[in-house]
Structure 1
């Protein structure tokens, strides 16, 4: 993974090619275990609405102390990540509801559009981060189409100061209007995208964790810290069950 300083200098050309990048993890079997009994949420709450920000700056859905911790390293310009958001998230939420499984989403930043969306989905309440991410993935083709249509404005962003660059990228990609329709005001978005320190922190965390864990593709999944060699829900669900997870 390139250092953060190079992330901000990434070429803005050919964004459509980014969706075709390789995906997947490298290793890891999962130990089998007995079925784990459901863990009740605190009175007046439910695990499906519980969101915690982790020490790794990821967003945890569910019981933060769940015995089975599933982590996804994802990119917002990854087609396979978009597919997982549609095919895997509904099933994951059923396991999260038991309190036995938590699901944490972390960033593996690959390009300027990815970093822009990663900033925007964190711009509101923490409970909305994964929701907005999923909506952004559903809109991925339209995002790339807007960038291609507004190519000159997108390319010009690369020469702008950081506090202006990501606002320009978001405008060229049609993201300001998209997220405004989903509860983030245009002014709120521009303020987040002008916060160079916050944006650099997202990129720094991505680079450091990718180097530490040897993660170089998206989506990559960890289960209790062990990197999995699968990246689709049909392959991940049996591993959760083998480890002791059950649906409600």
Structure 2
């Protein structure tokens, strides 16, 4: 996995190559379990709108004490992650609504554009992190097209001081306007993109957790802390059902 120092430098790897990169496998099987009854949310709330931040700095949707905890390590410049987002989120929300399954999204940062988007999706309310991530994945081709079109500005951002670097990347990639249209003002974005301490924390967490868990490709999944050897939604759905998230 890239070091924090490497992530904070500007890589000019071809964006389209990043978009098409495949995912990696894993290891570990999850044992079959008995059916787990739905768990009611506290009165006046619902699990589909409940978001907490984990000790690993991931964003958890659903019951934080769910018996089945699904974790995704994802990159915002990973085409396979974008595909998973489009295909899986309706089904994940159905599982989460029962209180039996929670879904946590953690960053595995691959490049400076990824780190810039990771910073921006975390910039507002915690409830918006996953929805903004899904929208950013849906816009991935347009983001890369903007970077290709604004190559000189993108390269210049790499020579800028750290507190200016990610603003330059966001501008070259068309991200300021994109996120402004989704409720993050330009001023909010600029404050987040110049918060180098927070940006370094995102990069550090990514590098340390990837090293600890031996994750070197995205998307990668854990269920109750055990690495799954599957990364397609149809397969993960089956794992959750066998583990107990199913009807009688």
Structure 2 length as normaliser, TM-score? Answer: 0.98
1:155-211 deviations in whole A, cap 9, x for unaligned? Answer: 111111111000000000000000000000011101100011110000000000000
- Tell me if structure 2 keeps the 8 A contact 1:57–1:106: yes
| Matching residue of 1:153 | 153
SS of corresponding position for 1:154 = helix
1:23 matches 2:18: no
| Matching residue of 2:144 | 144
| Matching residue of 1:209 | 209
| Matching residue of 1:198 | 198
SS of corresponding position for 2:70 = strand
1:29-77 deviations in whole A, cap 9, x for unaligned? Answer: 1100110000000000000000000000000000000000000000000
- 1:10, CA displacement in angstroms? 4.5
| Matching residue of 1:222 | 222
CA distance in 2, matches of 1:214, 1:243: 24
| Matching residue of 1:128 | 128
| Matching residue of 1:166 | 166
| Misfit runs of 4+, over 3 Å | none
- Tell me if structure 2 keeps the 8 A contact 1:9–1:158: yes
Q: What is the RMSD of the two structures over their aligned residues, measured on CA atoms?
A: 1.1
Q: CA, structure 1 residues 104+72, in 2 after alignment: closer, same or farther (shift >3 Å)?
A: same
CA distance in 2, matches of 1:169, 1:197: 17
- 1:147, CA displacement in angstroms? 0.4
CA distance in 1, matches of 2:160, 2:196: 12
The gaps in structure 2 that reach 5 residues or longer are none
1:195-245 deviations in whole A, cap 9, x for unaligned? Answer: 111100000000000000000000000011111111111110010000000
SS of corresponding position for 1:80 = helix
The gaps in structure 1 that reach 5 residues or longer are none
Equivalences for residues 1-80 of structure 1 within 5 A: 1-80=1-80
- Tell me if structure 1 keeps the 8 A contact 2:35–2:247: no
- Tell me if structure 1 keeps the 8 A contact 2:22–2:79: no
- 1:247, CA displacement in angstroms? 6.7
